[in-house]
């Protein structure tokens, strides 16, 4: 007790003396330590978007935190084999999906059971993954890092690898006041990167916001009208999802027997329900559905028209008038596809801020 008190007292004494002269050892030590002074990054919410769900006050993005998060996103050391980064399954040119991969492809070529969804507008979602297994963006990366078929690594190992890499200590120090290479800071940095990944610059957006005299042509407008009447009850609002879990009538694939939301809630009434996906950038995010079973948008529309199967949890919207599915003519399918392509935001897919190199 007494010693501790003395040490504290001396520390106080050194500091108070030094501030008079500026010449004492204690003062110089403080002065030499680089001041923590990161540059804040503004999160601009597009005019046609809802409020953020991500609480920025708990993890305010900074240039330094973003830079660290981006490096971590493209870092193979997050996986046991050293080569599978987040960016491997979430490729920017395809709005951060795993292009042409039906289900995710992780360490040593191991296959998962689900298709990699786009990482875009994450700061507006309530829950994450096809079944909502993660309810906070900061927690999401724990799943792929520790999944045996994805990155198959432990946080202890990842943190040790980062600490041993001379690039990381200065990046962590610049991004976080305590400068620690720990789980919390790593997850916060990844979130800062993902929070900034807002995609809101498609033709549809410019048209909605009345920007630059952009308008939709006749075919696109016809598609939009169809979409509003046949699809927007689930793919709702400007995010093109109401974020609910629904069974849209896909026949169950016995290979995976994926029960969707039931795996999280434990409820039979949630069997085969999956989160309604956003359709932003849908032109780029093929293949489609939770298990990537459809290659093209035409395949998807053929399914809605005539491929649906009934089951106990099928969404009631899809059995209207006692008839299964959403009847669509070939012309209507073309119009819908033309409209869906107005949701492509190439500026986002090629935005240098998010690019690996």
> Which strand (E) or helix (H) includes residue 275?
strand 274-275
- Residue 65 Cβ vs ligand HEC, minimum distance, rounded to whole Å: 14
* Residue 349 near ligand HEC by CB under 6 A: no
Rounded (to 5) percent helix, strand, coil in the chain: 45, 5, 50
Binders of ligand HEC in range 103-142 (CB under 6 A): 104-106, 112, 114, 116-117, 119, 122, 128-131, 133, 140-141
Three-class DSSP category at 145:
helix
- Residue 258 Cβ vs ligand HEC, minimum distance, rounded to whole Å: 8
**Which residue of 192, 285, 338, 344 would you call a contact of ligand HEC, by CB under 6 A?**
285
**Which residue of 41, 68, 89, 123 would you call a contact of ligand HEC, by CB under 6 A?**
89
**Cα distance between residue 174 and residue 156, in whole Å:** 22
* Residue 304 near ligand HEC by CB under 6 A: yes
Binders of ligand HEC in range 308-347 (CB under 6 A): 315, 317-318, 326, 336
Evaluated on CA atoms 253, 256, 257, 263, the torsion sign reads negative
* Residue 270 near ligand HEC by CB under 6 A: no
Q: What is the DSSP string of 176-206?
A: -TT---SHHHHHHHHHHHHHT-----SHHHH
> Which strand (E) or helix (H) includes residue 226?
helix 218-230
**Cα distance between residue 121 and residue 198, in whole Å:** 5
**Cα distance between residue 103 and residue 289, in whole Å:** 10
> How many residues in the shown chain lie near ligand HEC by CB under 6 A?
54
Dihedral pair phi/psi, residue 98, rounded to 5°: -95, 95
**CA end-to-end span of the chain:** 54
CA atoms within 13 A of residue 5's CA, in its CB half-sphere = 2
**Which residue of 197, 198, 200, 231 would you call a contact of ligand HEC, by CB under 6 A?**
231
Binders of ligand HEC in range 21-60 (CB under 6 A): none
* Residue 271 near ligand HEC by CB under 6 A: no
Among residues 43 and 133, whose Cβ is nearest to ligand HEC? 133
**Which residue of 300, 308, 343, 349 would you call a contact of ligand HEC, by CB under 6 A?**
300
Which residues would be at the binding site for ligand HEC (CB under 6 A)? 73, 78, 84, 86, 88-90, 104-106, 112, 114, 116-117, 119, 122, 128-131, 133, 140-141, 144-145, 150-151, 190, 194, 230-231, 233-235, 246, 248, 250, 274, 276-277, 279, 282, 285, 288-290, 297, 300, 304, 315, 317-318, 326, 336
């Amino acid at each position: 007790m007494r010693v501790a008190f003395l040490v504290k007292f001396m520390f106080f004494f050194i500091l108070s003396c030094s501030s008079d002269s500026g010449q004492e050892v204690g003062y110089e030590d403080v002065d030499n330590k680089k001041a923590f002074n990161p540059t804040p990054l503004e999160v601009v919410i597009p005019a046609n978007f809802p409020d953020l769900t991500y609480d920025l006050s708990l993890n305010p993005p900074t240039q330094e935190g973003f830079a660290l998060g981006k490096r971590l996103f493209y870092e193979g050391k997050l996986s046991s084999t050293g080569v599978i980064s987040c960016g491997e399954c979430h490729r920017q040119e395809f709005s951060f999906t795993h292009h042409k991969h039906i289900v995710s492809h992780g360490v040593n070529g191991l296959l998962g059971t689900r298709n990699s969804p786009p990482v875009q507008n994450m700061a507006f979602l309530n829950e994450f993954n096809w079944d909502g297994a993660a309810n906070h963006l900061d927690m999401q990366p724990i799943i792929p890092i520790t999944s045996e078929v994805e990155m198959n690594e432990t946080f202890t190992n990842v943190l040790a690898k980062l600490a041993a890499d001379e690039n990381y200590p200065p990046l962590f120090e610049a991004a976080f006041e305590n400068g620690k290479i720990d789980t919390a800071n790593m997850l916060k940095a990844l979130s800062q990167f993902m929070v900034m990944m807002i995609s809101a610059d498609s033709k549809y957006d410019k048209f909605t916001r009345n920007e630059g005299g952009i308008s939709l042509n006749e075919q696109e407008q016809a598609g939009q009208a169809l979409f509003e009447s046949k699809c927007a009850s689930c793919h709702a609002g400007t995010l093109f999802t109401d974020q609910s879990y629904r069974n849209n009538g896909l026949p169950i694939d016995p290979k995976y027997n994926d029960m969707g939301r039931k795996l999280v809630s434990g409820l039979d009434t949630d069997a085969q329900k999956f989160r309604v996906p956003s359709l932003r950038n849908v032109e780029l995010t093929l293949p489609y559905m939770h298990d990537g079973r459809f290659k093209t948008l035409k395949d998807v529309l053929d399914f809605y028209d005539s491929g649906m199967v009934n089951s106990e949890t099928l969404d009631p919207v899809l059995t209207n008038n006692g008839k299964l599915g959403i009847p669509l003519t070939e012309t209507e399918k073309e119009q819908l596809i033309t409209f869906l392509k107005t949701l492509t935001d190439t500026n986002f897919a090629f935005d240098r801020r998010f690019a690996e190199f």
